[in-house]
Structure formats: structure tokens, C-alpha cells
Amino acid sequence: METTLRGVGVSHGVAIGEVRHMGTAVLEPPAKQIPAEEAEREQGRARKAVDAVAADLIARGNLAGGEAQAVLEAQALMAQDPELMADVDRRVAVGSTAERAVYDAFAAYRELLAGAGEYLAGRVADLDDVRNRIVARLLGVPMPGVPDSDEPYVLVARDLAPADTALLDPTLVLGFVTEEGGPTSHSAILARALGVPAVVALPGAGELAEGTMIAVDGSTGEIFVDPTEEKKGQLEAAAAERRAALDSSTGPGATADGHKVPLLANIGGPADVAAAVEAGAEGVGLFRTEFLFLDDSKNAPSEGKQVEAYRTVLEAFPESRVVVRVLDAGADKPLDFLTPADEPNPALGVRGLRSLLDHPDVLRTQLTALAKAAEGLPVYLEVMAPMVADRADAKAFADACRAAGLRAKFGAMVEIPSAALRARSVLQEVEFLSLGTNDLAQYTFAADRQVGAVSRLQDPWQPALLDLVALSAEAAKAEGKSCGVCGEAASDPLLACVLTGLGVTSLSMGAASIPYVRATLAKYTQAQCERAAAAARAADSADEARRAAQAVLSGE
């Protein structure tokens, strides 16, 4: 009998297929003692396994490219963390086997993260995946991961580590469903980049029996278990209608009455450029530069290396905007040369612009490299700072840009509620705002963006978050400046209409979402978007806001 479950839809599309579960996690190694004379050998085994896993993660990142590469390189750094390895060595020295020492050292690190206010709790899936890969290599058993299958299937897992998500084969994995995770988790972001329908935060996902036929609607978050032929037909018809709308929608982003809303791409490096161009991106709204800095956590990349990478991206978008975010290090992206190692809560400490202002040489080199990369190119370069809290932050960044001789617009990301509340003040120092809705939601609701248990608070439809977006957009309009959205909220077509109605002047998203947003915006007038935005803000919950906006736009 057909039953319906509901999670959080994070990647558009419909997938219909049989359930296949993720490979089981590595079993806990036995706690047996080794003689003292074997300690050195076991320590060597542990280091060899760690290095092999790190190399494998980097190789997977090189194959995947783009955002996935940055995520996997961060995992490789996690595997080789000096403090973790020192803990492994200590445990082996007092009699643990290599595999048991790795298992226990990672367990201790897990507890440490939880004790730091759980900001990094959302990285537990990444941490567990690294541990499992190292232990599996030491035990000589198959790596945990995506099941082998000759037939297409829907992948179901407790959570998906980036190393697995990044290299999913869309011809075999029709879609995926996870019990944990949130709309802005690594797996959700990578699913959108791959164009694979996905639903996360589905309670009881692990209880779906192997081989069960399910239908996954990545737009609504609905899962239909044992769907009827009629339901399959309805879903397939709806999917075909969406594809037809996508195929017929081309050109710049605009509402039905011609109000222009430039649709830009979020990219994680040169590898993402081709997909952005193919999707018809009108430029780049968020160029994440961390990929350059994660290669070597101990040293910043040279100016020459940065110039080469930036120029590759700038050349791909002639006569277009390219908005570059300077290095956003700290929290889940620690760098030995930049971020403190002993912060009790990195999310609320020295990260983003704060790190760069503490290390002006790193900021100066990056800004100088951007200036040189843009020389002679017909591109509209804009540079923005992450984690701006107030006018003083904005001024410090703008001063640094001018001192580096950067001929570009300077902007501030609105990721902290104070920046939204005091947006007009911030705009006295910079020329544009860009709303990072992922972090803005996280800080507004004290809800880690990676933790499935608080996913309702990470929902970008939350009226309080929409209020902060509206405040920022109204301030920018009053100052005659622009205010875009570059967080994952922009990738939701219906929400894109609401954001437009709130006064946002551009939308930036993963390339795969651009056609969906373009087609949906073209169906409604600016006035309809404004009415939908007002209805959403008048609601008391994210679900009510979504339904209210949908009702307005559907003419109910």
C-alpha cells in the first residue's frame, strides 16, 4: 500500500527506483593489547593508512573538481591533523593496535567537538567517514561506500559523506535519501551541483527495506513508498512538464513583466566554470577562493598561483560581473597559518574577515593578485568580505582594497544578524551587499547548518530570516546600491520569487539550479512576487510561509 513520508527536499527532480542502502560502517576494532616492541611498527601502519586515505580523498577531489574538491581536500587535512596523529601515537605507545588507536582518537575528537558548543557537530559525518576509511584500510576490509549495482537505484543512508556524494554516478544513482543532514549540508550542496534529486532529514529513512520501490520528489521533500502506477505517472508527468519549462526558458533572468533579476553562479574554482556558462549564468555571484588555500594548510599560496587561478575564471565571463569572496577561513576550514588552534568555539571566534585583518599580509597578497588578474580584461570585478559584523569591519576591508590598488567594487557579506540590522551603516563604507543565507540562518537561530535535528531552523523560509533579508534589501535601495543573495536560498525557485519581491537585486546559486529559477521567475510579475513576499513574512513558520507564498502565486 502506498505511503507518504516527508523530509526536506534539497535538490530538484523526481527519482523512481528501488532502495539500496549505503555500505555498513566499519565495525569497532577489538581492544587488544600489543607488546611494547610492536609499538613502532603499529605507529608506522597508522601513519601509512592515514597518508593513503588522505591521498585517496585528494584524488577523488581532483576527479570531482569544483566545490567537491575543496570539501574533500578539507577532509584530507582532517585525516592528517597533527594533534589527532599525536594522539594515535600515544595510544599505540601504551599498547593499542593501530586500528584501535585510530578509532579511539577519533572518538575523543568527536567528544571535543560536542563540548565546543556543537558548532562542528555537522561535520561528524565527515569525521566518521575519515575514521572508517582509515580503520577499513588497517583491517584490510572493503571501504564503506556506495553499493555496487548494475541497475539504477535510489541510495538511502543515515548520512552521506562528501567523498561518496562527490563521485556519485547519476546514471546509476537516480536520487538519494538521508536520515540526517540539512538543506545547506555538504551533501545537499553537492547533490544540487550534480543535478541528482535528493531528500534529507527524513526520520526513519534507514528503516526503508532494501529493494523497496520508492519515488523521491526532491522539490517537495516527499517520499512515496510503494507508489501506485497512477502516482508514478503523475510524478513523471510533473517532471516532464518541468523539463519542458526549462528547455523553453532562456536568456537573462526576469519576471513576467520584464523586471530584471540577474541570475549568477556560485563557483568553487575554475572547474565549475563550464557548467555555469552552459547553464546561462549571467556572471558569478560567489567565487569561493578557499580551494587555493586548502592545498597546504601551513602556507598561503603565492601571489602568482592566485593570479593564474583568478584570471582563468575572469576570462570566462567577459562583460559580466564576477563577485569574488576573499578567503573565508576558520570554523570548519581551519588553516594552520591563519586560524587559532585553541578556540573553544571557532564559529563565534576569529574567522572570515577577522582572520584576514589579523594577518594583513595574507589579505594584501590576495587583493593584489585579484587586481593583477583583472588587468586588461573586460570584466566587472567585485570583491567582498565574509563575516562582516559592522561598519568598522566594512571600513577596514574597503581600506585594505584601496591600499592594494584594487580597481573594483568592494562589498560586504551579510551573514551576521548585526550586519542586516545595521545595513545602512555598513553601506556607508561599501558599494554592495551579498546575503549568505546559510550562515545568516545559522547565526539567527543558533542552529548549525549541518545538524539534521535542527533542520527546521535552517529552513530559509523562516519568516525571521526573510525579515533580515528585507531589512538588507530596503537599506540597499535607500542607499542606491545593490543587494544580492548568494546563499542556498536562491536555488529554490519559489523562494527566488519571494526574494525578488523582498527587493533583492540579483540571485546567485549552483549552476544546476539556474534553469529552474529562470523558468519560475518568468511565470510571475514583480507585483505578484511582492505580494508573495508579504504573505510569507506575515506567516509564523517556514511551512506556513511557503504555503502562503505558493497560494499567492497560484492565484488561490
173-178 β-sheet, strand order: 3-6, 222-225, 213-217, 14-21, 153-157, 173-178, 198-200, 8-11
Distance, CA of 217 to CA of 222 (rounded, Å): 5
Whether residue 332 is predicted with pLDDT greater than 80 in this model: the reply is no
Least confident among 171-185, 398-412, 475-489, 503-517: 171-185
Residues 458-498: tens digit of each pLDDT: 889 999 999 999 999 999 999 999 999 998 899 889 999 99
The pLDDT score that the predictor gives to residue 120 is 46
DSSP characters for 416-462? SHHHHHTHHHHTTT-SEEEE-HHHHHHHHHT--TT-GGGHHHH-TT-
**E-state strands within 315-398:** 321-325, 380-385
Q: Answer with the residue of higher pLDDT: 21 or 334.
A: 21
Query: How far are the Cα atoms of 431, 472, 507, 534 from residue 260, in angstroms, in the given order?
Result: 20, 19, 11, 20
Alpha helices in 215-302 (DSSP H): 229-248, 273-278, 290-293
Residue with cell 523562494: 495
Residue with cell 601502519: 45
Q: What percent of the chain has pLDDT over 70?
A: 89
Identity of the amino acid at 453: A
Section 399-415 average pLDDT: 96
Whether residue 171 is predicted with pLDDT greater than 90 in this model: the reply is no
Whether 6 and 223 have beta carbons less than 8 Å apart is answered as yes
Q: What percent of the chain has pLDDT over 90?
A: 54
The pLDDT score that the predictor gives to residue 124 is 60
Least confident among 91-105, 274-288, 340-354, 537-551: 340-354
**The most confident of 14-23, 270-279, 503-512, by mean pLDDT:** 503-512
Whether residue 114 is predicted with pLDDT greater than 80 in this model: the reply is no
Average pLDDT over all residues of the chain: 87
Identify the band that residue 140 occupies on the pLDDT scale cut at 50, 70 and 90: confident
The pLDDT score that the predictor gives to residue 342 is 66
Distance, CA of 129 to CA of 123 (rounded, Å): 10
Distance, CA of 414 to CA of 394 (rounded, Å): 11
Whether residue 186 is predicted with pLDDT greater than 90 in this model: the reply is no
The pLDDT score that the predictor gives to residue 165 is 73
Residues 28-46: tens digit of each pLDDT: 888 888 998 999 999 999 9
Section 4-19 average pLDDT: 90
Other Cβ atoms less than 10 A from the Cβ of 551: the count is 12
Identify the band that residue 297 occupies on the pLDDT scale cut at 50, 70 and 90: low
Section 531-539 average pLDDT: 98
Catalytic residue among 12, 186, 359, 529: 186
Identify the band that residue 119 occupies on the pLDDT scale cut at 50, 70 and 90: very low
Distance, CA of 354 to CA of 429 (rounded, Å): 17
The pLDDT score that the predictor gives to residue 118 is 39
Strands 380-385 and 321-325: parallel
- Count Cα atoms within 13 angstroms, Cβ side, for 530: 8
Least confident among 229-233, 245-249, 341-345, 527-531: 341-345
Active site residue 401: no
In 3D, which of 71, 68, 73, 127 has the Cα closest to residue 295?
73
Active site residue 186: yes
Catalytic residue among 401, 486, 497, 529: 486
Residue with cell 559592522: 390
The pLDDT score that the predictor gives to residue 405 is 92
